[in-house]
Amino acid sequence: MKLKVITSNPGKVEEYRRSFSGLGIEMEHLRLPYDEVQTSDLSEVVSKGMDEIIAKGVRDFIVDDSGLFVDALKGFPGVWSAYAQKTIGNQGILKLMDGVEDRGAEFRCCIGCDIAGERIIVTGVCRGVIIDSERGSGGFGFDPIFSQDGVRTFAETPVEEKNETSHRGNAVRLLMEEMKRRGLVRGR
């Protein structure tokens, strides 16, 4: 079985390949632009994206969206995380958090999968805190300012270890469990 991973990020395709290798699913990279609806709900963004992709005649695919939701900022940047990263970056988030006691935040990743005519949408979450300054050289995006354990940032955590507890890792595991539950795949 083959699934198309619809993304502009080749690194995501490799993550999916590694995750799904034990299930006998081949991952193929497909760059296919689609509109992301403007809403504060990741699952709605993914669902509407899936509708548009299916309307273009594409089946058997994975699409995802993720974001950083900061408690003290009422969920900002949330679904607008990519835009916030491009415009204000990590330093902008840190400036917004300057003097704020409640540092709680979570990364969320919503994955939509169209497989064998079935539609699956799952969301993985990873709770943590926004630290006071950027640390680490690994990862990307908000990784240098997010710490799950209050000690190391995601940018300081080895990739394999990060994937064990990250929002995307959690979402991928939920997706695989649901695929198995529905009898769509077998394997580990």
User: In 3-state terms, what secondary structure has residue 115?
Assistant: strand
Respond yes or no: is residue 65 known to be catalytic: yes
From CA 176, how far away is CA 181, in angstroms rounded?
Answer: 9
Vertex 139 angle, CA 83 and 69, to 5°: 45
Can you read off the two tokens belonging to residue 184?
A: 């769509």
Q: How far apart are CA 49 and CA 39, in angstroms?
A: 12
Q: Are 78 and 36 in contact (CB under 8 A)?
A: no
Q: What angle do CA 160, 163, 168 make, to 5 degrees?
A: 155
Instruction: Report CA-CA distances (Å) from 1 to 28, 54, 75, 138, 153.
Output: 11, 18, 38, 33, 36
Choose, from 64, 65, 114, 143, the residue flagged as catalytic. 65
Report d(CA 64, CA 148) in Å as an integer: 21
Q: How many angstroms separate the CA atoms of 7 and 103, rounded?
A: 31
User: Which sequence positions are flagged as catalytic?
Assistant: 65
